[in-house]
Amino acid sequence: MAGPSWLERLRRARKSALLQDGKRKVHYLFEDGLEMAEEYDLKTSQLLARKWREKTALGSSGKWQVEVGEPTIHTAGALESELIKESSSNPIFMRRDTQSSFQWRIRNLPYPKEVYSVSVEKEQRCCVVRTSNKKYYKKFPIPDMDRFQLPLDAAALSFTYANATLIITYRKPQEILAAEEELQKELKKIKAANDGDGECKTQ
């Protein structure tokens, strides 16, 4: 998903938009067949969800992979639901951004705040969550930074902890803020083209 100019790839992609339930829903189809779907708050232009889908080896559409927003919950039969019910206390990792930051939430972490540490692994291009009691470990990338080929900055990373939830924040660099502003201009052109009637418009 990386490229010399991610913004240019977004501009070249075929885009269709739908205004629904106070959201702008945008579907992107890239030249290589990759699909991306995003949802934005219509009033604030805040990104609410982003997911990806690639073609399988046989050419059919694969499953959607969630990058931003609530993780996909797979529906299961009644018996299976009973069998896996106890796992509901496992940590749940999800990303939910703000206008100025990338943000991740890890729910169901019962340990006190002082056991957590969050760091940037620059060479591996990822962030790492550790606990001093060795009870939890999580390594995760920041796909946006990879797509724009920007270095990770430890000073941009911070975290808070409350109500059994660890909230990790990475401050967006100026390059990404500027690119997001440019993208919103592009998306509003699609919105203007469908006259706010809720119909799809392909670009």
pLDDT tens by residue, 94-134: 999 999 999 999 999 999 999 999 999 998 999 999 999 99
With 90 as the cut, is the pLDDT of residue 58 above it?
Answer: no
Q: How would residue 75 be classed by pLDDT, with cut points 50, 70 and 90? A: very low
Position 79, amino acid: L
Q: What is the pLDDT of residue 120?
A: 97
pLDDT tens for 140-199 read 999 999 999 999 999 999 999 999 999 999 999 999 999 999 999 888 887 555 444 444
Torsion of CA 6, 152, 101, 39, to 10 degrees: 30
Q: Where are the domains of the chain?
A: 6-69+175-202, 91-172
Looking at domain 91-172, its CATH architecture is Sandwich (2.60)
Q: What is the pLDDT of residue 191?
A: 56
Q: What is the pLDDT of residue 89?
A: 81
Structure tokens at 131: 């606990």
What is the rounded CA–CA span in Å between residue 164 and residue 162? 6
pTM, to two decimals: 0.82
Q: Find the radius of gyration of the CA atoms of the chain.
A: 19
Q: What is the pLDDT of residue 137?
A: 96
What is the rounded CA–CA span in Å between residue 176 and residue 143? 12
Q: Cα angle at 106 between 53 and 170, to 5 degrees?
A: 80
The mean pLDDT of the chain is: 85
Secondary structure letter of residue 128 according to DSSP? E
By the 10 Å C-beta count (0-12 exposed, 13-18 middle, 19+ buried), 60 is classed as exposed
**Cβ(41)–Cβ(22) under 8 Å?**
yes
**Cβ(128)–Cβ(119) under 8 Å?**
yes
